[in-house]
A and B are shown apart, each in its own frame.
Chain A
Amino acid sequence: MNRYTKRTFALEMVMIAVGIVFAFPVYVLVNLAIRQPSDTASPIRPTLDPTFGNFTGAWREAGLGGALINSVLVTAVSVVIVLAVSALAAYPLARSTARWSRGTFLLIMLGLVLPFQLASLPLYQTVRDLGLLGSIWSLVLFYAGLQVPFTTFLYVGFLRALPRDFEDAASIDGASPFKTFRYVVLPMLKPITVTALVLNAVAVWNDFFTPLLYLSGSDQQTVPVAVAGFVGQFVSDWNLIFAALLISIVPVLAVYLALQRSIINGFAGGLKG
């Protein structure tokens, strides 16, 4: 059954056809992004006289440079914070059987059920009172807290399946709890950290609702908000809009193609946690 038969060939053809259907929107995206605005031919006809004018126009008008820097900052800082605090919290939560430990774990897991819409409006008021509206640091604070339940869930599940012999050995040798965590537990958590890093980074980078609320009316933007503002401004100038959309997804696709194995495994690995 491991040979390449006629049926395998038929399946190959069907799957390639499916792949083409899935890729079709991206073909149109590129095709229109490089087209002269004066060219009114059908959107599916290949563009034969490509221009890069749309890209320079979109880059200038949409403020994508600043938005990209903000998105990178927000994603990097908040993901590092959430990974650090969640891994640290998961250590006692996975190891201690005391009542406070189980209670705290359940309390944090409540966050998996609560939709962020419930918290986001009262939090909006708090952020406003703190004078953080329009600042990207309000987003860092928000994601650092919002992603704690899911990340802690991943770490606790992973840690519970690991033996505690190494930690016990370290503490017998006189290592402090923090040293044991830093030099014994943390290295063992590396596989699940990759998963948590990928899932959190994608979630934070792509989030639209939160920056729409907290950054609206300010000159600070993240990429999704900059794109939405740009579409609102250039309603029907689709060549320009498509250039902006393409610019906004190139960094994500570049990272994806470079690290596709770890990223796909990261998404698939969530279920083993």
Chain B
Amino acid sequence: MTADLKVRPPGRAVPASSPRRRSRGAPPWWFVLPALLLFAFVVLVPSIRGIYYAFTDWDGLDPDFAVIGLRNFTDMLDDGDALQAVWHTLLIAVAITVIQNSIGLLLALGVNSMIKTRNLLRVLLFAPAVITPIVTAYLWRNLLGPDGAVNAVLGPWGKDWLGDPDLALWMVVLVVVWQFAGYSMVIFLAGLQSIPREIYEAAAIDGTGSIRRFWSIVRPLLAPAITINLMLSIIGGIKLFDQVYALTGGGPGHATDTISTLIYKDAFTLGEFGYSIALAVVLTVIVSIVSAGQFAVLNRNEKAAS
């Protein structure tokens, strides 16, 4: 645009070294340098080194280590704990995604109504999302304990929630859902409030039932909020560490170990850095597949919407 005008500011010449700048005053490339250097130092270079270490037997200290090819990965296939951790990770991620978003959507519909307490409830229900996850997990460890508040409420139906290998995994899901359902709610609410009121009213006047109204009118318009919520909860669920660490430490036995807790244990209690990083590579592959899948769905939806 400005390039076509060929106007020069009075008293200022374009430097002779760049006589054909496309657009005067265009932001120079070096503006990206500080961010790029920090990103490269903290994320990019260590990640590339990490991928390399995954093919070695490095113990984290000894500068003499050997490249061992795929052995860390083939070892994983024989490692029952690792296979279980992958399964737990996927199960937790899917369960959190389904339950948290269902509850979040119902809460959003409830709060997006004429009820008098809607603002109070919105602030209350979102509050857990800003609290430190490790703190909420310690709180719940007591609540779900044998003498905890949950059993005090349930009386004769009380159970050893965290000590039972069949239940412990679901308790991790419960704690995450309690904390982040309000987060999903807030995103759904922003989506709901962007839908013009006239559309509802027109449908109501036409006599459309409320379920039909939700499915045919609200749901398609809510697509961006749904996509964001699914992406946040599934990737957050796959990377889950703090809540498991504080709530069960991966136990009882290995009943709640996820890839992330195993990475930590293998590296810092067993000193098997190479194997630990190989697990991190597996985690990266899973996150990449899920992200790519969601990106494809997002693209398809946006094309369908336009």
Cβ of B94 under 8 Å from chain A: no
Chain B, residues 250-280, CB within 8 Å of chain A (1/0): the string is 0000000001100110011000010011001
* B135:A11 contact, CB within 8 angstroms: no
A208 to B242, CA, bound (A): 7
Residues from chain B with a CB closer than 8 A to the CB of A175 are 25
Q: Which of A43, A117, A170, A248 has the most CB of B within 10 A?
A: A117
* A227:B135 contact, CB within 8 angstroms: yes
* A118:B115 contact, CB within 8 angstroms: no
Given that A25-B140, A148-B35, A256-B130 are known contacts, is A117 also in contact with B9, CB under 8 Å in the complex?
no
* B42:A85 contact, CB within 8 angstroms: no
* B133:A208 contact, CB within 8 angstroms: yes
Residues from chain A with a CB closer than 8 A to the CB of B23 are 168, 171
* A170:B25 contact, CB within 8 angstroms: yes
* B131:A267 contact, CB within 8 angstroms: no
Given that A125-B60, A172-B9, A270-B228 are known contacts, is A19 also in contact with B121, CB under 8 Å in the complex?
yes
A170 to B23, CA, bound (A): 12
* B46:A227 contact, CB within 8 angstroms: no
**In chain B, residues 6-23, which have Cβ atoms closer than 8 Å to a Cβ of chain A?**
7, 9-12, 23
Q: Which of B46, B147, B224, B283 has the most CB of A within 10 A?
A: B46
Cβ of A104 under 8 Å from chain B: yes
Residues from chain A with a CB closer than 8 A to the CB of B50 are 118-119, 121-122
A32 to B142, CA, bound (A): 11
* A146:B280 contact, CB within 8 angstroms: no
* B276:A12 contact, CB within 8 angstroms: no
* A149:B31 contact, CB within 8 angstroms: no
Residues from chain A with a CB closer than 8 A to the CB of B116 are 4, 12
* B114:A115 contact, CB within 8 angstroms: no
* B142:A89 contact, CB within 8 angstroms: no
Main secondary structure of the interface of A (DSSP, over half): helix
Taking Cβ atoms with an 8 Å cutoff, the residues of B that contact A are: 1-2, 5, 7, 9-12, 23-29, 31-32, 34-36, 38-39, 41-44, 46-47, 49-51, 53, 60, 107, 110-111, 113-118, 120-136, 138-140, 142-143, 147-149, 152-153, 178, 182-183, 186-187, 189-191, 200-201, 204, 224-225, 228, 238-239, 241-242, 245-246, 259-260, 263-264, 267-268, 273, 276-277, 280-281, 283-284, 287-288, 291
> Mind listing 12 A-B residue pairs with CB under 8 Å?
A19-B125, A89-B34, A117-B280, A118-B283, A121-B280, A152-B35, A171-B23, A180-B25, A208-B133, A231-B246, A271-B190, A271-B224
Closest 8 CB pairs of A and B: A171-B25, A145-B42, A174-B9, A89-B35, A119-B46, A268-B190, A92-B27, A145-B38
Taking Cβ atoms with an 8 Å cutoff, the residues of A that contact B are: 1-4, 8, 11-12, 14-16, 18-19, 22-25, 28-29, 32, 42-44, 81-82, 84-86, 88-89, 91-93, 95-96, 100-101, 104, 107-108, 110-126, 141-142, 144-146, 148-149, 152, 164, 167-168, 170-177, 180-181, 202, 205-206, 208-209, 213, 223-224, 227-228, 231, 238, 241-242, 245, 248-249, 252-253, 256-257, 260, 263-264, 267-272
